[in-house]
Structure 1
Amino acid sequence: MSVEPEASGPTYHWPIPPAGGWTADDLDRLPNLPPHTELIDGSLIFVSPQTRFHMRAMRFFEWQLLSQAPDGFDVLREFTIDIDRRNRPEPDLIIAQDDDDDPVGTRLPVDKVRLAIEVVSPDSVDRDRTAKPLKYARAKIPHYWRVENVDNRAVIYVFELEPATGAYTSTGIFHDHLKVSVPFPIDLDLTEIRFKQRPAAE
């Protein structure tokens, strides 16, 4: 009598997309989705485990932006934006107009967003450099920051929406210190995100 081998781990049943793809409303209805699942062009995007750099950068920006935000603004971490029926991305951080009208809402209307910030991970390079900023610009989000790990230091690429073209234009690349006046005055010491270099192996 043969014995079936024991399963080595849990069996996952990934959702099968309907004709035409998923919609923004489906993110609230589908059971057992991994945390921080996004909807891009009707497809579900699952994220990989976060690196320490990614977590430290998000924590830094959340605390610093909250401490510097004036009345009328809010800082949201890992919260989805309702762009359209087929796109509900989740920036790492958002600066938005403060809105207490919907305390149980699971997504933010795109017209409330003033700045979207993406901290680039190895699996999100193309999305954060190309796909997402294109969608954010088309949705008329005024400001976009991309945070990259360069030799264990944070480098911030800052973009502003150019109204004549409807596209983002670069307004600066910041290494050790970031100081901007929009969407409100922000002054950041980026060296606080830095990791020490490990000694080379002998």
Structure 2
Amino acid sequence: MAERPAQVELSRWDYFLRTWQQLDVPDGWRAEIVDGNGVVLVAPPSDPHNYIAVRVARMLGRVMPDDWDAYQTLGIQVPSVERLYMPDLVVMPESVVLDPSRTPCPADEAELVVEIVSRSSKDTDRKAKLWGYAHGPVPLYLLVDAWDENGPSVTLYELPGNGRYNHATTVDFGEKITLPEPFGLDIDTSKFPGPDSWPA
């Protein structure tokens, strides 16, 4: 009688990660592990959302070194808290992106992540991902929030430590927000579309 092959016991995180890697995700959709309870699908972003992502990427392109890029469909993982996100933008060195042993890319290698809040992602981007990126730790988290209760705003979170960001700067749409070195860049938010421009 032939012996059965030994069953490999996967940790919960390895199981989630393998599931994420094997998913056949529809075009435009994203798969993430947001809350530690498994893989979720995120619907394609709206036109205003894409517009903001492209504008920010264009500004970043003016100051990034040649061996960095801003990606819109790059998965980054935070194994210590069993999270995997696909940020709206992430700046990552090409050496990490092109290393097949580091897929999905480790969050602690990111230079910056950008999330653009939509109606359906308010709590995820403002709370869950804020917590996850701080645990990365990702040094800079830029949150573009047209749905802020106090008016459309952009917040830069900096100095991650002990599972949280220890400094935050918020400006209203229309103002500039400064990314520190290694960027040394003023992000001009004057053309960011407010909530009236977003689909209902």
TM range (shorter): 0.7 to 0.9
Question: Is 1:95–2:91 an aligned residue pair?
Answer: yes
List gaps (5 residues or longer) in structure 2. Answer: 1-9
Aligned length, in residue pairs: 178
Q: 1:129 to 1:197 in 2, by over 3 A?
A: closer
What is the CA-CA distance between 1:23 and the residue it aligns to? 1.4
Equivalent residues in 2 for 1:116-155 (5 A)? 116-150=113-147, 155=153
Q: 1:108 to 1:195 in 2, by over 3 A?
A: same
Q: Following the alignment from structure 2 to structure 1, what is the Cα–Cα distance between the partners of residues 146 and 97?
A: 37
Match of 2:25 in 1: 33
Q: Following the alignment from structure 2 to structure 1, what is the Cα–Cα distance between the partners of residues 196 and 22?
A: 44
For residues 53-104 of structure 1, what are the alpha-carbon distances to aligned partners after superposition, in whole Å with 9 as ceiling and x for unaligned? 2111111111211222134432111211021183211111112234167266
Question: Is 1:79–2:77 an aligned residue pair?
Answer: no
TM-score by length of 2: 0.75
TM-score by length of 1: 0.74
| Percent of paired sites with the same residue | 23
The two structures, once aligned, show a CA RMSD in angstroms of: 2.9
For residues 12-31 of structure 1, what are the alpha-carbon distances to aligned partners after superposition, in whole Å with 9 as ceiling and x for unaligned? xxxxxx9958411321213x
1:191 alignment partner, SS class: coil
Kindly indicate which of the two structures has a greater share of residues assigned to helix.
2
Q: Following the alignment from structure 1 to structure 2, what is the Cα–Cα distance between the partners of residues 136 and 98?
A: 20
Q: Following the alignment from structure 2 to structure 1, what is the Cα–Cα distance between the partners of residues 76 and 90?
A: 9
Q: Which runs of 4+ in 1 moved over 4 A?
A: 18-22, 103-106, 195-198
Q: 1:121 to 1:101 in 2, by over 3 A?
A: closer
Q: 1:143 to 1:125 in 2, by over 3 A?
A: same
Question: Is 1:112–2:106 an aligned residue pair?
Answer: no
**Greater radius of gyration (CA):** 1
